Amino acid sequence: MTVAVVGLSHKTAPVAVRERLAFPESQLHAPLQQFQDEAIAELVILSTCNRVELYLETPDPQAAFASCVRFLAAYHHLAPETFASYLYHLQEAEAVRHLFRVAASLDSMVVGEPQILGQVKAAYLAAQAAGRTGTVLSQLFARALGVGKAVRSETGISDHPVSVSYAAVELARRIFANLAQRTVLVLGAGDMAALTVRHLRAQGVQQVFVTSRTPARAARLAQELDAKAIPLEAFPAHLPQTDIVISSTSAPQPLIDRAMVQEAMRLRRGEPMFFIDIAVPRDVDPAVNTLENVFLYDIDDLQGVVEANRRQRQQAAAAAEDIVWREVRQFQQWLAARDLAPTITALRQRAELIRRAELERILPRLGHLDERQRRLVEALSSAIVNKLLHTPTVNLKRAAGDPRVRDYVQLLTRLFDLDQ
C-alpha cells in the first residue's frame, strides 16, 4: 500500500480551474461516498479556495491517479483535458511531506495563515464520518494536525501579520489592550477600510461609524458592516468619542489636521487615539503624530510593518521546515514498521509450510522412529529454519528507519511469493 496525493493548488492552477473542481466543505459526504474504486483503499478530500486535493492509500498509485482524474471529470461534468495538466501526483514521503507542509501553512498563498489547519481537520473528520479512513490515513492526518500545531507553537509563524489591514489591527491591539469597548470611525468606503473593520469586528469591536463624500456608498458600507452611517460634515464632532479612525478617501487634501485632533484629545482627556491612514494622497496631516498619545500610521508605515513581518515569517518558515522533515521521517518509520510485521509473519509462515511439507515427505522414508527420535527430527528442522530466518528478521527490524525499507519488504514479498 502507498500513501499518495492527487490535486492542484494556487501554485499550479488559476482560480478559474480551481473553482470548477471545488467541493463545498459542508457537502463532502456525497463525493466521498461516490468515489469507490478498487485502487482507492482510503480517501480524504481537502478542498479550499486555494486547493483541491485527494489523499489516498492505494495498492496501485498509477491506477489511483487515473481513477482520480476520471472521478473529478465525472463528478464536476468536465472534460479531463480541461484540468488534468494542472494536477500533481505525489507518493510516499513526498505526499506525506506535502500534507504536513499544507497543515503547517507552509504551502499557503500567505505563509502562516491560520485557517488551513482547521480546514485540514474538517476534511479528515468528513472522511472519517463517511467511513473512508482507515489505519494509515487516520495516523497520517493525526500527525499532520500535530505538525500544524507544533509549527505554530514552536516557531510563532502566525504571530506576524502580513496583510496591511491585519497589520493595522495588530497595531491597534498593542495600543488598546481590549478592543471590544472601542469605537471606530471609517472615513471613505474603500475595500481595504472595509476589510480592516471586519478584522476589528473579529476582535470584538462593537460600535462603528461610516462616512463618505458619497452618502449612498457610506450607507451601503454601513449596512454591510452592521455600522451606522453619518454625514461627512458631522465626523469632526464624533472624533472625541472615537478611539480608532480608519481613513481611505480620495480627497486631494487632508481631511484631518493637527488642530482638529488636538481639540478632540482635550475633550478625551488624553485617552489614546489611533489613526490608520491608508489613503493616497493622505487624509491625515502627518503633524497629528506629534501630539501625545496620538498614534498615526499611513500606508507606507503599514507596508513597512508588513515587510518586516514577512521577513520574520520567512525565518519561522525555515524552522518549520525542519519540524516537517522530522515528522515525515517519524511517519515513514511508523509506516515501515507497520509493513514489517505482516511481512516477517508471512515469511515465517511460508518457511513453516515448507518445513512441514518436507517433514511429511521425508519421515516415511526414515523407517520406524520412536517418539523421541521424531521430536529430534522436528527440533532439527525448526532450528534450521529459525537460524536461517534470524539474521534477515533482525536486519529487517533494524532497517525500520531506513527510507529503503519498503523496497526491502517488496523485494522479500516478490522473492518468496508472500502474497500467495
Q: Which residues, in sequence order, are bridge partners of residue 90?
A: 5
The C-alpha atoms of residue 394 and residue 144 are separated, in whole angstroms, by: 31
Cα Rg of the chain (Å, integer) = 32
Strand order in the sheet with 228-229: 228-229, 207-211, 183-187, 244-247, 273-277, 294-298
Q: Tell me how crowded residue 27 is: count the other CB atoms within 10 A of its CB.
A: 11
Which one of the listed residues 14, 30, 33, 49 is annotated catalytic?
Answer: 49
**CA distances, 384 to each of 22, 173, 378, 381, 390 (Å):** 59, 74, 10, 5, 10
| Number of DSSP helices (H) and strands (E) in the chain, helices first | 14, 10
Burial of residue 4, with CB atoms counted within 10 A of its CB: 0-12 exposed, 13-18 middle, 19 or more buried: buried
Q: Which residue is listed with cell 480627497?
A: 251
The cell numbers describing 408, all together, are: 526491502
Contact 21, 83 (CB under 8 A): yes
Q: Which residues, in sequence order, are bridge partners of residue 55?
A: 5, 44
Q: Which residues, in sequence order, are bridge partners of residue 273?
A: 294
Q: Which residue is listed with cell 501630539?
A: 291
53: helix, strand or coil: strand
Q: State CA 405 to chain mean position distance.
A: 29
**Active-site residue 68, yes or no?**
no
Q: Tell me how crowded residue 259 is: count the other CB atoms within 10 A of its CB.
A: 11
Q: Which residues, in sequence order, are bridge partners of residue 183?
A: 207
Region of 92 (left: φ > 0; alpha: ψ -120 to 50; beta: rest) is left
The C-alpha atoms of residue 231 and residue 235 are separated, in whole angstroms, by: 7
Catalytically active residues are 49
